[in-house]
Amino acid sequence: MTADIQLIFASAHKELHPRTPLPNIEIEFCPFAGINHTVRLHDNRLTVRLSDIVTGAPPDIYLSLALILLAKLYRKPIDHSHHRAYRTFILTAEIQERARLARRKRGRRMRAGKARGRHVDLESLFDRLNQEYFDALLIKPGLSWSPKKSRHVLGRYDATHNVIFISSFFDVPAIPWYVTAYVLFHEMLHLKHHSCVRDSRMIVHTREFKAEEKGFRQYEEAKRWLKTI
C-alpha cells in the first residue's frame, strides 16, 4: 500500500512543479492521537508521516492530501477542491469514529480534579443551571476545575471522556457568579447540541446552539464582563 501512495506523492510533486528534483519518498503510517500528518524534506529525501486513521483512503483522497502537504511545503497554490475533498472524507462518520477511538486510547488526558473549588461548587452550579434552563434533563458529566487559571481557555467539554473543565480563574469571589454560570452554561450546551457537518466543515456552535446560548438571562452582562479579561 505504501508503494502506491509513494507513486501518488510523486505524481503530486510533478503536478506542483517545484524547483527541486523529485526526491526519494518515504511513507509511514503512525499511531497519532489525531488526524495529523507531517512532511519533511532533507537531503533529497521526502519523509511523509501519515496518521493511521486515514489508512485505506481512496486514491483520490491520498492525492488531495499529497497536494495539500506538498503545496504547504513548497509554498505553492492548489485548487480549493482538494481541501474540500479531504475535509469531506475526514468528516465522514467512519473516520470521525476512528479519530474518537484514537483520542481515547492515545490522547493525553487532562486529569479531572475536584468539582468543589475554594469558592464555587460546580456540582451545585450545574444542578441549578440544569433545572433552570434544561428542565433537569441533562445527564451530569464529570465536572472539574482546571489545574491552571487560564484566561484563554475558559471552559472545555471533553466529549471523549465526558468531562467539563472550567478554568480555575473563575474560582474566586471577586468574579460575579453569573459570569462563571455563563461559562459553565456554554459548556453544558455542548451536551445538548452536537456538532454537525455543513459544507465540508465541522460546525461546533450550530445556529441552534447560538440561539439557545443567548437565552442565558445575563448573557449580555456576562459577555461584556469577559471582554475585560
| Chain segment 113-165, per-residue pLDDT in tens | 799 999 999 999 999 999 999 999 999 999 999 998 999 999 999 988 899 99
Give Cβ neighbours of residue 122 (< 8 Å, ≥ 6 apart).
Answer: 115, 116, 143, 144, 145, 164, 166, 184
In this structure, are residues 106 and 36 in contact, taking their beta carbons and an 8 Å threshold? no
Q: CA 146, CA 152: separation in Å to the nearest integer?
A: 12
Q: What is the largest CA-CA distance in the chain?
A: 65
Domain assignments of the chain as residue spans, ordered by start: 2-106, 122-226
Structure confidence at residue 190 as a pLDDT band (50, 70, 90): very high
Give all strands (DSSP E) within the chain, no chain letters: 24-30, 38-42, 45-51, 142-145, 155-158, 163-166, 196-198, 201-203
In CATH terms, 122-226 corresponds, of 3.40.50.450, 3.30.2130.10, 3.40.1160.10, 3.30.2010.10, to 3.30.2010.10
In this structure, are residues 167 and 149 in contact, taking their beta carbons and an 8 Å threshold? yes
Mapped onto helix, strand or coil, the DSSP state of residue 172 is coil
Structure confidence at residue 19 as a pLDDT band (50, 70, 90): confident
Tell the CATH topology of 2-106.
Zincin-like (3.30.2010)
Mapped onto helix, strand or coil, the DSSP state of residue 87 is helix
Q: Tell me if 2-106 shares its fold with 122-226.
A: yes
Highest mean pLDDT among 91-100, 124-133, 191-200: 124-133
| Chain segment 101-127, per-residue pLDDT in tens | 898 888 766 666 799 999 999 999 999
pLDDT computed for residue 110 by the predictor: 60
Joined grid coordinates for residue 78: 492548489
Q: What is the pTM of this model?
A: 0.69
pLDDT computed for residue 109 by the predictor: 62
